[in-house]
């Protein structure tokens, strides 16, 4: 029996066994190309339609034609933003946030170098946006802004943004609105039919489907330009033969996520809260980051002062516990994450942030094991830290760190 504890579900999730079972026939028995007119293709085509409806149901979309299958969330993000720009060539400005996932952040930085203007919305110490600043931007620059792209929930802290309200504000100003909902889909209820969101991105491997499949939700009537051209697949909106087995798996995963939504928001949330409470009560000089009153039910990001997060992760891994020091896409950097920097987390703590992200497969017994393992690990590392003395932190540890960031 595997006794390891996996608490890195915001990086990727285990494929649900029921999802695997649903996928298997499409590698062997049902191998037809859904674009073909013969029975092999028609059978698979009907299965793709069912998967599209399963995704539609989870998102609360109005019609299954609004679901475009992609290779990943990153492709969906790029497609949404680039489409908005190409469909409105006279508009050269974008609004996004400083805490976006690199899938959006890097693209916007590239577009800035290519001559576009990007308005970067800042966050406060809890990772919250100032909607007054956002409203002023829309009022002053609406005729120049092609798209607003704001994540539904932050991948590091779990902080949830008011994207539905922001979408209404954008649409009222005549501006397209996109949200990277990769972390939020399957964890919190959504009803896109009753929202003003024009485009939404999701990724299969964040909700117990396989890697290599994602979705772009495109509200009917939204102006659109394909990123990938070549074939007629996905109603001409995304060329390339469909990744059938993975799409089938994603459909099943969406169906299961709908069924487990209440469990996620009650039982998983209770495990997360117990984990946070247990660590904070046993370890001094640590604190949760982000908006703890308004976050995903599975996410807890704790900053441990005066030690390095990478060292904590190594010792946790040795103890059979998997967690993360932030976004998996930015791991390996010696700098604190851009999310921690944006929130102004003190340098003495920003290096020591650990993200614990749970799933419905975790148990309270596993949580208790982590609570027991963390305090001695932190104590061991602080004994080796030049910033920690016999009686706690040294008088002015900031002097030993690199200059603080703005």
- Which one of 3.40.50.300, 3.40.50.1220, 3.40.50.150, 3.40.640.10 gives the CATH number of domain 17-257? 3.40.640.10
pLDDT tens-place string over residues 246-302: 999 999 999 999 999 999 999 999 999 999 999 999 999 999 999 999 999 999 999
| Residue 273 burial (CB count, 10 A) | 14
pLDDT tens-place string over residues 52-67: 999 999 999 999 999 9
pLDDT tens-place string over residues 307-366: 999 999 999 999 999 999 854 444 445 678 999 999 999 988 999 999 999 999 999 999
Is 217 in contact with 47 (CB distance < 8 Å)?
Answer: no
Is 203 in contact with 9 (CB distance < 8 Å)?
Answer: no
Task: Report how far apart, in Å, the C-alpha atoms of 88 and of each of 69, 74, 163 are.
Answer: 23, 22, 22
pLDDT at 35: 64
Say if residue 217's pLDDT is above 90: yes
Helix pair 269-282, 364-384: axis angle to 10 deg: 30
Q: Report d(CA 76, CA 82) in Å as an integer.
A: 10
pLDDT at 1: 42
Say if residue 401's pLDDT is above 60: no
Specify the pTM: 0.92
Residue 254 designated active-site? no
pLDDT at 403: 47
Catalytic residue among 72, 300, 329, 360: 329
pLDDT at 234: 72
pLDDT at 229: 83
Q: Report d(CA 392, CA 354) in Å as an integer.
A: 21
Q: Report d(CA 56, CA 54) in Å as an integer.
A: 5
pLDDT at 329: 47
pLDDT tens-place string over residues 130-160: 999 999 999 999 999 999 999 999 999 999 9
CATH class of 5-10+260-400: alpha beta
Say if residue 398's pLDDT is above 80: no
Say if residue 402's pLDDT is above 70: no
Of residues 102, 106, 112, 152, the one with CA closest to residue 129: 152
Q: What are phi and psi of 120, to 5 degrees?
A: -95, 110
Q: Report d(CA 232, CA 241) in Å as an integer.
A: 9
| Residue 32 burial (CB count, 10 A) | 18
pLDDT at 331: 47
List the domain boundaries for the chain: 5-10+260-400, 17-257
Say if residue 166's pLDDT is above 90: yes
Residues 6+ apart with CB under 8 A from 204: 210, 211, 212, 213, 214, 215, 246, 249, 250, 253
pLDDT tens-place string over residues 70-129: 999 999 999 999 999 999 999 999 999 999 999 999 999 999 999 999 999 999 999 999
pLDDT at 39: 62
Q: In the block, which residue shows the tokens 């996620």?
A: 264
């Amino acid at each position: 029996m595997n006794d390891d504890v996996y608490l890195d579900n915001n990086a990727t999730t285990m494929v649900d066994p029921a999802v695997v079972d649903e996928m298997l026939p499409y590698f062997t028995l049902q191998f037809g190309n859904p674009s073909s007119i013969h029975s092999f293709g028609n059978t698979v085509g009907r299965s793709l339609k069912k998967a599209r409806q399963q995704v539609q149901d989870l998102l609360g979309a109005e019609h299954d034609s609004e679901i475009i299958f992609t290779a990943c969330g990153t492709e969906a993000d790029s497609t949404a933003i680039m489409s908005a720009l190409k469909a409105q060539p006279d508009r050269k400005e974008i609004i996004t946030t400083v805490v976006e996932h690199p899938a959006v952040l890097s693209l916007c930085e590239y577009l800035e170098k290519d001559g576009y203007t990007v308005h970067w919305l800042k966050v406060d110490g809890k990772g919250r946006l100032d909607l007054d600043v956002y409203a002023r931007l829309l009022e002053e620059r609406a005729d120049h802004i092609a798209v607003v792209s704001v994540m539904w929930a932050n991948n590091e802290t779990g902080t949830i943004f008011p994207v539905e309200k922001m979408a209404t504000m954008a649409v009222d100003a005549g501006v397209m609105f996109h949200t990277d909902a990769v972390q939020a889909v399957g964890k919190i209820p959504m009803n896109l039919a009753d929202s003003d969101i024009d485009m939404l991105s999701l990724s299969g491997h964040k909700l117990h489907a396989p890697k290599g499949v994602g979705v772009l939700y495109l509200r009917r009537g939204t102006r659109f330009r394909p990123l990938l051209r070549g074939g007629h697949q996905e109603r001409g909106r995304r060329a390339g033969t469909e990744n059938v087995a993975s799409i089938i798996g994603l459909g099943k995963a969406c169906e299961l996520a709908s069924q487990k939504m209440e469990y996620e928001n009650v039982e998983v949330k209770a495990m997360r809260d117990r984990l946070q409470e247990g660590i904070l009560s046993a370890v001094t000089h640590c604190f949760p980051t982000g908006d703890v009153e308004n976050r995903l039910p599975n996410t807890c990001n704790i900053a441990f002062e005066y030690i390095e997060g990478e060292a904590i992760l190594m010792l946790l891994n040795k103890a059979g516990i998997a967690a993360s020091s932030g976004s998996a896409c930015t791991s390996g950097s010696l700098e604190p994450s851009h999310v921690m920097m944006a929130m102004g987390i003190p340098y003495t703590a920003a290096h020591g942030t650990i993200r614990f992200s749970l799933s419905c497969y975790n148990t309270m017994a596993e949580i208790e094991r982590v609570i027991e393992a963390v305090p001695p690990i932190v104590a061991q590392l602080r004994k080796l830290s030049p910033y920690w003395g016999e009686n706690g932190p040294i008088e002015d540890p900031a002097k030993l760190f690199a200059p603080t960031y703005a």
